[in-house]
Amino acid sequence: MNQEMHNKTEYKKGLACALGCSLLWGILPIYWKSLQAVDPLLIMFYRLVLCFVLVLFIDLFLFGWDAIMEPLRKKGAKLTFFLAGTLISSNWGIYIWAVNSGYIIQTSIGYYIEPLMVCVFGVIFFHEKLDKYKIAAFVLAIAGVVFMLVSYRQIPFIAIGLALTFATYAAIKKKVQVNSLLALLYETMFLVPIILPIIIYMEWSGQGAFSTATYGQIVLLSFAGAFTAVPLMLFAMAANRIDFITLGVTEYFSPSMGLILGIFIYKEPFDYIQFIAFVFIWIGLVIFTIGSIKISREPQIEGTSNNNILNDTISEEEQINKSEANL
């Protein structure tokens, strides 16, 4: 009985982390739009480096250098984290460029497609199962995405690029059992030696942020690491507590928020077909929410990996113990 209650608690924590992650990602277009004077590629470079610096200090404080280096000694770990970092930084670059180039609605389409790809990856690679609520939400989401794709009458390269890079990144995250703070450090650390010289060159040659942005924008840019680390840590914590299908469907909240911002704040074109798609997806989310509440009350959480929950819980306990020791 205690194990069942523990599973329920972990499921609820995972769902809360997933929703918090989606909320933060949903409001990010406002932040990136405020940095429009800076080259999008340079924003992505600063984002990665600042994220690395922030997470490095946190990890050193919580774990120490020896504990940080230990997971990297495993066979294939460095290559895996380098690949994960390349995928997520590519996703960041596409997204920032699209937002600042007037394609917020298409980024929303990309992140509507992405949870579908995450769900497919969960079924194919992790043998997860669909219950009736998730099937209904899944079908409605597909209908909504099809409506949006038809309305464009062209291949939405931005949307597809965002969906593919993030779904692949998510699958890699699912396979690697490492504390979320450590994983984020590894995903950025191998790219920093490549990117930092580029930043220095751009700033030195007058193409950098200090030459094109205002003082206020530079201050905002300095928070790029925090705006990156927090939602990604929430995502990693959610991935280790709930099944891939649930995680995928919850990620519809952030593109919905982006869609609203694109229409009402930044006045991007929006037609009736896209509106119908939006309604379909939100109906699916309502069904999913009802299903999630019922599942959380059942004795066994279908599709949740107890090993993943245990690994992440142990990591958090070690983190707390280390933090108390440092204090």
For residue 1, the model assigns a pLDDT of: 52
For residue 298, the model assigns a pLDDT of: 67
- Please state the domain count of the chain: 1
User: Under a CB-based contact definition with an 8 Å cutoff, are residues 134 and 288 in contact?
Assistant: yes
User: Under a CB-based contact definition with an 8 Å cutoff, are residues 243 and 303 in contact?
Assistant: yes
Taking the CA atoms of residue 305, residue 161, residue 113 and residue 20 in that order, the dihedral angle to the nearest 10 degrees is 60
For residue 315, the model assigns a pLDDT of: 41
Measure the N-to-C terminal CA separation of the chain; round to a whole number of Å: 35
For residue 303, the model assigns a pLDDT of: 42
**DSSP annotation string for 60-108:** HHHT-HHHHHGGGGSTTHHHHHHHHHHHHHHHHHHHHHHHHTT-HHHHH
For residue 135, the model assigns a pLDDT of: 81
pTM: 0.78
User: Under a CB-based contact definition with an 8 Å cutoff, are residues 118 and 292 in contact?
Assistant: no
Residues 6 or more apart from 43 whose CB is under 8 A from it? 32, 35, 96, 209, 221, 224
Low-confidence residues in the chain, pLDDT < 70: 1, 115, 152-154, 244-245, 248, 289, 292-293, 295-327
pLDDT digits 0-9 by tens, 147-174: 777 776 667 789 889 988 988 888 887 7
In the numeric block, the tokens 């929303």 are attached to 108
Smallest CA-to-CA distance from 280 within 259, 262, 302, 303 is with 259
For residue 245, the model assigns a pLDDT of: 66
Domain that includes residue 158, residue range: 2-326
